[in-house]
């Protein structure tokens, strides 16, 4: 397997007034193509920051992030936006669906940035919703869906452009055990059946156990690794 | 186009707020449309004035009369094709507030000089033959419900009759229409011969002359020639282009256009803040959603454009509804009841209105849009 993600000597420093907070301190990480990695650690350990840096939502203070052939930390804002649209699918803890759009409308959002025609976009949306098992909920608004269903719509939105890498920030953090297990089943299927590379942040060991690898981040240092 | 549903759904997110803002915009643009139509009404005389027509008045003022003998001398002047005289009558119909323009004229000459006055030949013929007959414009006829054959008494305020009476009664022989939308159809016109014979004083005098020249570019030269001809006579003259004459007449009321521009300027300034406040609130509430859009790949420029598009849609829909409302109200019937001729919303005012709406949308949306554009994704997502 070739490496899809290569993080080298990554530093991220935040400043709050005169206070300096070293969130990441020389983190190194390699994720092969097709891998399913869980990233664990206590609150404030830098998990989400690492996820954001890999996804190009933030820029590192030092170090490099390479995803595929792209040196992400060196891309301009415009190119970064285009790169994210093409290569990255994000899944959020609180789903972050637009309440004014239906499930189908939410899933269609990333496709608006492509050159696809309306009919083609509709077909892609139907496929994505079918994969997450929500074909019958396409016209429902987020407020009409359960938490688990909302998260599945969020996953459909993340995969609708067929991205290379899925970045999931505590995807089951707001769900009950049953719904969480369903979401994990779905992510496992996307990894095993559709070959999606997944990096998932979680606090829950039960959820992390579903990944093929678990990484531990503490005080900005990636210091342990367990292979499932 | 594919982003319009997203823009539209965002606008309808807070229906009451959007509808309130929309109603304010509709109201302001309705006001704009009405004031623009009012301005058009006041300046109709200027806009419709013909380039080949001159107006000759007494050098002292318009109210000083001129001898009718000038007519022949004017007609014989090089460059003059036609000449007609007019006189201000200033009568009252029922009550002083029923103001409209009344003038004794030479009927045949009127239609030669003003081909934009359209009337059936039969009515023209009837009027030419009826010395106490009059014709009225369509707006005026509609205003008072007059029809052909009606007898209309006017109380003279200037021109008493030889027998001492002040009531002049005319039979309406015809109703004329305008060839163009702004043509003045609020006038009451009757025979000069009858008027001149019946009035107590000032026989053989007229108010002013309207002259047609052979070519518009000869107009200044002909005007000079005419004024030179009557120089050093008891009644010296001042000849100007019809447009300049109409403008000077309008200026006596005041600079209507300037007043309207001031009113609209203040109103639009306030409207901009109302709309900008709506947009600012809307963007503030959606910080997280805008960050999500950026996460999905919307560029900074894309987010800026989305917010601006939203603001412009709000302004253009509101402005469009306001302008459409005024168009309907002014095209169906004259809302001033014939008081102001040419009270219409002109195409150029509609286009200017659309320009205002776009400018309003841009100015109201630009700061919230810049704020959305500069949003840092990680910070916004962290704040939730």
> Is the pLDDT assigned to residue A228 strictly greater than 50?
no
- List the domain range (segments joined by +) for residue B189: 48-251
Question: Min CA distance, B175 vs chain A (Å)?
Answer: 59
Mean pLDDT of B309-315: 94
Mean pLDDT in chain B?
Answer: 90
| Number of CB pairs, chain A paired with chain B, less than 8 A apart | 69
The total number of structural domains that make up chain B? 2
Q: Mind listing the pLDDT tens digit for each residue in A59-108? A: 999 999 999 999 999 999 999 999 999 999 999 999 999 999 999 999 99
- Does residue A109 belong to the interface with chain B, where contact is any CB pair within 8 Å? yes
**pLDDT grade for A219, boundaries at 50, 70 and 90:** confident
Q: Mind listing the pLDDT tens digit for each residue in B65-94? A: 999 999 999 999 999 999 999 999 999 999
Contact B103, B86 (CB under 8 A): yes
- Predicted pLDDT of residue B98: 87
Does residue B340 or residue B364 have the better pLDDT? B364
- Predicted pLDDT of residue B37: 86
- Predicted pLDDT of residue B339: 57
Of chain B, the percentage scoring pLDDT greater than 90 comes to: 65
Task: Provide the 3-class DSSP secondary structure of residue A118.
Answer: helix
Task: Provide the 3-class DSSP secondary structure of residue A49.
Answer: helix
- Does residue B328 belong to the interface with chain A, where contact is any CB pair within 8 Å? no
Given an 8 Å threshold on Cβ–Cβ distance, is A52 in contact with B378?
A: yes
Choosing from B214, B234, B251, the residue where a domain stops is B251
Rg, chain B, Cα only: 29
Q: Give the DSSP letter string of B287-335.
A: HHHHHHHHHHT--HHHHHHHHHHHHHHHHHHHHHHHHHHHHHHHHHS-T
> Is the pLDDT assigned to residue B181 strictly greater than 80?
no
What the block records as the tokens of B354 is 């659309």
Contact B74, B209 (CB under 8 A): yes
Q: How far apart are CA B275 and CA B25, in angstroms?
A: 8
Class (C level, CATH) for A3-227: alpha beta
Q: How far apart are CA B132 and CA B152, in angstroms?
A: 11
Residues B192 and B212 in one domain: yes
H helix intervals, chain B: 4-11, 15-48, 70-75, 107-113, 121-129, 138-144, 192-198, 219-229, 242-251, 256-285, 287-296, 300-332, 347-373, 377-383
- Does residue B258 belong to the interface with chain A, where contact is any CB pair within 8 Å? no
Mean pLDDT of B244-270: 79
Q: How far apart are CA B237 and CA B240, in angstroms?
A: 10
- b/e code B28-66 from CB counts within 10 Å (16+ = b): bbbbbbbbbbbbbbbbbbbebbbebbbbbbbbeebeebb
Residues B299 and B373 in one domain: yes
Count how many Cα atoms sit within 13 Å of the Cα of residue A69 in the half-sphere of its side chain: 0
Identify which of B292, B297, B301 has the shortest CB distance to residue A85: B297
Q: How far apart are CA A145 and CA A133, in angstroms?
A: 13
Q: Give the DSSP letter string of B230-297.
A: TTTSSS-EEEEEHHHHHHHHHHTT--HHHHHHHHHHHHHHHHHHHHHHHHHHHHHHTHHHHHHHHHHT
Mean pLDDT of A151-175: 94
Given an 8 Å threshold on Cβ–Cβ distance, is B377 in contact with A58?
A: yes
- Does residue B377 belong to the interface with chain A, where contact is any CB pair within 8 Å? yes
Contact B229, B261 (CB under 8 A): no
- Chain A hits for B302, CB-CB cut-off 8 Å, are 81, 113
- Does residue B378 belong to the interface with chain A, where contact is any CB pair within 8 Å? yes
Contact B377, A49 (CB under 8 A): no
Of chain B, the percentage scoring pLDDT greater than 70 comes to: 94
Q: How far apart are CA B186 and CA B140, in angstroms?
A: 5
Given phi > 0 = left and psi -120 to 50 = alpha, else beta, which region is A106?
A: alpha
- Does residue B169 belong to the interface with chain A, where contact is any CB pair within 8 Å? no
- Predicted pLDDT of residue A226: 55
Choosing from B235, B251, B267, the residue where a domain stops is B251
Does residue A38 or residue B247 have the better pLDDT? A38
> Is the pLDDT assigned to residue B321 strictly greater than 60?
yes
What the block records as the tokens of B202 is 């000032």
**pLDDT grade for B334, boundaries at 50, 70 and 90:** low
What the block records as the tokens of B110 is 């009127």
**pLDDT grade for B341, boundaries at 50, 70 and 90:** low
- Does residue B15 belong to the interface with chain A, where contact is any CB pair within 8 Å? no
Given an 8 Å threshold on Cβ–Cβ distance, is A100 in contact with B12?
A: yes
- Predicted pLDDT of residue B294: 95
- Predicted pLDDT of residue B253: 65
Tell me the backbone φ, ψ of residue B41, rounded to 5 degrees. -60, -45
DSSP assignment letter at B217? G
- Does residue B299 belong to the interface with chain A, where contact is any CB pair within 8 Å? yes
Q: How close are the terminal C-alpha atoms of chain B, in Å?
A: 30
> Is the pLDDT assigned to residue B336 strictly greater than 70?
no
Give the pairing type, strands B133-137 and B167-178. Answer: parallel
> Is the pLDDT assigned to residue B384 strictly greater than 90?
no
- Residue given tokens 């027998």 in the structure block: B163
**pLDDT grade for B48, boundaries at 50, 70 and 90:** low
Residues B83 and B173 in one domain: yes
Angstrom CA distances, A142 to A110, A132, A152, A223, B1, stand at: 17, 15, 11, 39, 24
Given an 8 Å threshold on Cβ–Cβ distance, is B292 in contact with A77?
A: no
- The complex's ipTM works out to 0.91
Mutation target vs B (from A43, A50, A78, A81; most B CBs, 10 A cutoff) = A81
Residues B40 and B62 in one domain: no
**pLDDT grade for B44, boundaries at 50, 70 and 90:** low
Residues B240 and B187 in one domain: yes
Q: Mind listing the pLDDT tens digit for each residue in A129-140? A: 999 999 999 999
Give the DSSP H or E segment for A179.
Answer: helix A177-192
> Is the pLDDT assigned to residue B50 strictly greater than 80?
no
Mean pLDDT of A147-153: 95
Count how many Cα atoms sit within 13 Å of the Cα of residue A201 in the half-sphere of its side chain: 24
Closest CA to A72 of A61, A83, A62: A83
Cβ contacts of B249 within 8 Å, gap of 6 or more: B45, B62
Residues B325 and B346 in one domain: yes
Task: Provide the 3-class DSSP secondary structure of residue A164.
Answer: coil
Question: Min CA distance, A83 vs chain B (Å)?
Answer: 7
Give the residue on B whose Cα is nearest the Cα of A89: B296
**pLDDT grade for A225, boundaries at 50, 70 and 90:** low
Mean pLDDT of A164-193: 93
- Predicted pLDDT of residue B296: 94
- Does residue B288 belong to the interface with chain A, where contact is any CB pair within 8 Å? yes
Q: Mind listing the pLDDT tens digit for each residue in A18-56? A: 888 888 989 999 999 999 999 999 888 899 999 999 999
- Chain B hits for A57, CB-CB cut-off 8 Å, are 295, 377-378, 381
> Is the pLDDT assigned to residue B295 strictly greater than 80?
yes
Residue A205: how many other CB atoms lie within 10 Å: 10
Give the residue on A whose Cα is nearest the Cα of B288: A96
- Residue given tokens 């002013």 in the structure block: B208
Residues B181 and B202 in one domain: yes
Q: How far is CA B176 from the centre of its chain?
A: 19
Give the DSSP H or E segment for A129.
Answer: helix A118-131
Choosing from B251, B269, B292, the residue where a domain stops is B251
Q: How far apart are CA A118 and CA B112, in angstroms?
A: 63
Residues B175 and B302 in one domain: no
């Amino acid at each position: 397997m070739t490496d899809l993600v290569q993080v080298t000597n990554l530093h991220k420093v935040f400043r709050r007034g005169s206070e300096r907070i070293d969130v990441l301190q020389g983190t190194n990480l390699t994720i092969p193509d097709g891998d399913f990695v869980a990233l664990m650690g206590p609150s404030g350990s830098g998990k989400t920051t690492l996820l954001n840096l890999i996804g190009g939502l933030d820029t590192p203070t030092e170090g490099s992030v390479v995803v595929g052939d792209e040196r992400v930390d060196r891309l301009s804002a415009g190119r970064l936006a285009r790169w994210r649209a093409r290569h990255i699918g994000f899944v959020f803890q609180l789903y972050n669906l637009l309440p004014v759009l239906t499930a189908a409308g939410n899933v269609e959002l990333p496709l608006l940035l492509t050159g696809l025609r309306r009919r083609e976009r509709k077909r892609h949306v139907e496929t994505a919703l079918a994969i997450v098992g929500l074909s019958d909920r396409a016209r429902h608004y987020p407020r009409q869906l359960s938490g688990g269903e909302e998260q599945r719509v969020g996953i459909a939105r993340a995969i609708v452009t067929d991205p290379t890498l899925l970045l999931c920030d505590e995807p089951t953090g707001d769900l009950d055990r049953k719904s969480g297990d369903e979401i994990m089943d779905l992510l496992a299927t996307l990894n095993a059946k559709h070959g999606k590379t997944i990096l998932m942040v979680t606090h829950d060991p039960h959820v992390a156990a579903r990944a093929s690898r678990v990484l531990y981040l503490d005080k900005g240092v990636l210091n342990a690794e367990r292979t499932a | 186009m594919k982003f319009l549903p997203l823009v539209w759904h965002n606008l309808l997110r807070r229906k009451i707020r959007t509808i309130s803002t929309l109603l304010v915009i509709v109201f302001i643009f309705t006001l704009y449309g009405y004031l623009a139509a009012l301005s058009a009404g006041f300046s109709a005389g200027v806009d419709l004035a013909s380039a080949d027509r001159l107006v000759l008045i007494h050098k002292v003022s318009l109210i000083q009369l001129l001898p009718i003998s000038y007519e022949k001398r004017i007609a014989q002047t090089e460059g003059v094709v036609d000449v007609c005289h007019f006189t201000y009558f200033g009568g009252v119909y029922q009550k002083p507030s029923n103001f409209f323009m009344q003038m004794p004229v030479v009927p045949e000459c009127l239609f030669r000089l003003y081909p934009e006055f359209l009337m059936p030949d039969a009515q023209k013929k009837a009027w030419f033959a009826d010395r106490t007959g009059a014709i009225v414009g369509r707006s005026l006829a509609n205003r008072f419900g007059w029809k052909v054959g009606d007898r209309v008494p006017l109380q003279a305020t200037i021109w008493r009759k030889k027998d001492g009476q002040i009531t002049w009664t005319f039979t309406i022989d015809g109703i004329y229409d305008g060839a163009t939308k702004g043509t003045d159809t609020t006038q009451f016109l009757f025979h000069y011969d009858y008027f001149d014979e019946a009035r107590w004083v000032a026989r053989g005098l007229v108010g002013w002359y309207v002259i047609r020249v052979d070519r518009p570019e000869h107009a200044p030269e002909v005007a000079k020639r005419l004024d030179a001809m009557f120089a050093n006579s008891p009644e010296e003259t001042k000849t100007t282009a019809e447009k300049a004459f109409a403008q000077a007449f309008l200026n006596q009321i005041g600079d209507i256009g300037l007043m309207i521009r001031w009113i609209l300027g203040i109103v639009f300034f306030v409207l901009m803040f109302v709309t900008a406040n709506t947009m600012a609130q809307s963007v503030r509430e959606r910080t997280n959603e805008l960050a999500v859009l950026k996460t999905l790949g919307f560029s900074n420029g894309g987010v800026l454009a989305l917010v601006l598009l939203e603001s412009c849609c709000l302004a253009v829909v509101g402005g469009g509804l306001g302008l459409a409302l005024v168009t309907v109200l002014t095209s169906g019937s004259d809302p001033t009841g014939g008081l102001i001729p040419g009270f219409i919303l002109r195409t150029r005012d509609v286009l200017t209105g659309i320009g205002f709406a776009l400018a309003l949308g841009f100015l109201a949306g630009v700061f919230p849009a810049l704020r959305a554009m500069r949003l840092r994704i990680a910070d916004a997502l962290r704040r939730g």
